Amino acid sequence: MSAVPDHAAIEARDAADPLRHMRDRFVLPQGVIYLDGNSLGAAPKSAFAELDKAAREEWADGLIRSWNRAGWFELAEQLGDSVGRLIGAAAGETVVCDTTSVNIYKALHAALWLRPERSVIVAEGGSFPTDIYMAEGVAATRPGVTIRLEGVDAPAIEDLIDEQVAVVLVNHVNYKSGELCDMAALTRKAHEAGAVIIWDLCHSAGALPVDLDGANADFAVGCTYKYLNGGPGAPAFIYAAKRHHEHIRQPLTGWWGHAKPFAFEQGYQAGSGIRRFLCGTQPILSLRALKGALDVWDDVDMTLLRQKSIALTDLFIELVEARCSEYGVTLVGPREGARRGSQVSFAHQNAYEIMQALIDRGVIGDFRAPNVMRFGFTPLYVGYRDVWDAVAILHDILKTGSWKQERFAVRAAVT
């Protein structure tokens, strides 16, 4: 094994980082090392410019005329294409709308309607909980539909996929461990059994190259407020492969998905293409902030992004293990960079308190029950020096036991 890099080596890596200049595109508070872009991305300067224009010019001055003049009505599809470029979707296959949870609901129903003779939904017991909650909600509306969970009904998801399965719902990167799933292989496995697959890209869109069309995926959903930096509660996205478009039925048949919304006809008639996944009026100000955030990606090479992401997460693991193992901190999730998203998790029995002590010192990560400290590394605005400094602070907190102060044990609503 090579020696742990020293401070000079870290500075050299930052100096040679081809994405270093991207940090200037974001507003980040002084004295903060932000390792939570996997929960809420940092604010891009271009998002403020878009928000300001949309509010002051288009809303205040343009008023209702801006639906046509400022392109508000087409915005959901336009931004869908911008997201689509980052996830391997062709133009017209992705639309930005609603929340990831709502989009899971629509995609699951759409998938079940594509396989009317089948009745099983397969999901992961360890997936982000909303995915399972939404699957339960879908099953409750469809007599006979049941759910099989990886980790509950069988250890491996592959063992749950057979000819009874209509749809497989899977997280591309696990939110807790950071483990990356092989999209092409699992999609093939689902298709061999005749099932449809839905990918939840919340922790991979903007975190690594994704190739939905290349993997022959059916549906995908994801949020835009994590690695895509769209802002708190920014609208989510939904993707459907073009081959399904004219067969798709979804349950939230609102007027925005209608073939002729401004004909005000009686009776729902689905619009064509991905637009039929829309339901009602979309939040234009949030969409405009997202537009600004997505503009940043025009200048990003996803291969360089992935290389830096693996380098940052490898370095973090190496430094934490070298300096903090003796304090009972253990790696959760893959050690091999290629099998990892852009986050690293460490377990400790006092993970909550240690994370609060870190945040108090300006190192912002987050806690996931029961014992996981989660650190996200967004290559656009995190550097090698940040990794070094964060580990030095973590080491100090563990060595001095400063996390034992009572105030760090008070539980907040959002962790």
Residues 348 and 354: beta-carbon distance below 8 Å: yes
371 scored as a contact of ligand PLP (CB under 6 A): no
Residue window 74-103: x/- pattern of binding to ligand PLP, with contact defined by CB under 6 A: -------------------------xxx--
| Active site positions, annotated | 128, 200, 225-226, 374
In the complex, the smallest distance separating the C-beta of residue 200 from ligand PLP, rounded to whole angstroms, is 5
Given 106, 109, 148, 203, the residue binding ligand PLP (CB under 6 A): 203
In the complex, the smallest distance separating the C-beta of residue 61 from ligand PLP, rounded to whole angstroms, is 32
329 scored as a contact of ligand PLP (CB under 6 A): no
Cα-Cα end-to-end distance for the chain: 36
Residues 241 and 338: beta-carbon distance below 8 Å: no
**C-alpha–C-alpha distance, residues 276 and 254, integer Å:** 9
Q: Is 101 annotated as a binding residue?
A: yes
Q: Is 237 annotated as a binding residue?
A: no
In the complex, the smallest distance separating the C-beta of residue 401 from ligand PLP, rounded to whole angstroms, is 33
Nearest residue (CB) to ligand PLP, 77 versus 200: 200
Q: Is 384 annotated as a binding residue?
A: no
**C-alpha–C-alpha distance, residues 415 and 322, integer Å:** 27
Count interface residues toward ligand PLP (CB under 6 A).
13
Closest CA to 47 of 378, 235, 288, 379: 288
Residue window 127-146: x/- pattern of binding to ligand PLP, with contact defined by CB under 6 A: -x-xx---------------
Please, which of residues 381-400 interact with ligand PLP by CB under 6 A?
none
Q: Is 225 annotated as a binding residue?
A: yes
Given 26, 34, 105, 175, the residue binding ligand PLP (CB under 6 A): 175
Token pair of 394 as six digits: 């973590």
Token pair of 24 as six digits: 């200037």
26 scored as a contact of ligand PLP (CB under 6 A): no
Q: Is 402 annotated as a binding residue?
A: no
**C-alpha–C-alpha distance, residues 120 and 338, integer Å:** 31
Phi, psi of 121, deg, nearest 5: -105, 130
Residues 234 and 222: beta-carbon distance below 8 Å: no
Q: Is 303 annotated as a binding residue?
A: no
CB atoms within 10 A of CB 369: 10
**C-alpha–C-alpha distance, residues 171 and 186, integer Å:** 11
**C-alpha–C-alpha distance, residues 80 and 98, integer Å:** 12
In the complex, the smallest distance separating the C-beta of residue 306 from ligand PLP, rounded to whole angstroms, is 19
Nearest residue (CB) to ligand PLP, 202 versus 355: 202
Token pair of 150 as six digits: 């990886």
Nearest residue (CB) to ligand PLP, 34 versus 199: 199
Q: Is 255 annotated as a binding residue?
A: yes
236 scored as a contact of ligand PLP (CB under 6 A): yes
Given 181, 202, 228, 351, the residue binding ligand PLP (CB under 6 A): 202
Nearest residue (CB) to ligand PLP, 50 versus 200: 200
171 scored as a contact of ligand PLP (CB under 6 A): yes
User: From edge to edge, which strands make up the β-sheet containing 366-368?
Assistant: 330-332, 343-347, 372-376, 366-368
223 scored as a contact of ligand PLP (CB under 6 A): yes
Residue 371 Cα to chain centre, angstroms: 22
In the complex, the smallest distance separating the C-beta of residue 95 from ligand PLP, rounded to whole angstroms, is 15
Q: Is 59 annotated as a binding residue?
A: no
- Return the range that interacts with ligand PLP (CB under 6 A); candidates 22-30, 125-133, 262-270, 399-407: 125-133
253 scored as a contact of ligand PLP (CB under 6 A): no
Nearest residue (CB) to ligand PLP, 99 versus 164: 99
345 scored as a contact of ligand PLP (CB under 6 A): no
Q: Is 218 annotated as a binding residue?
A: no
Residues at the site binding ligand PLP, with contacts judged by CB under 6 A: 99-101, 128, 130-131, 171, 175, 200, 202-203, 223, 236
Annotated binding site for pyridoxal 5'-phosphate, which residues? Answer: 100-101, 128-131, 200, 203, 225, 255, 281
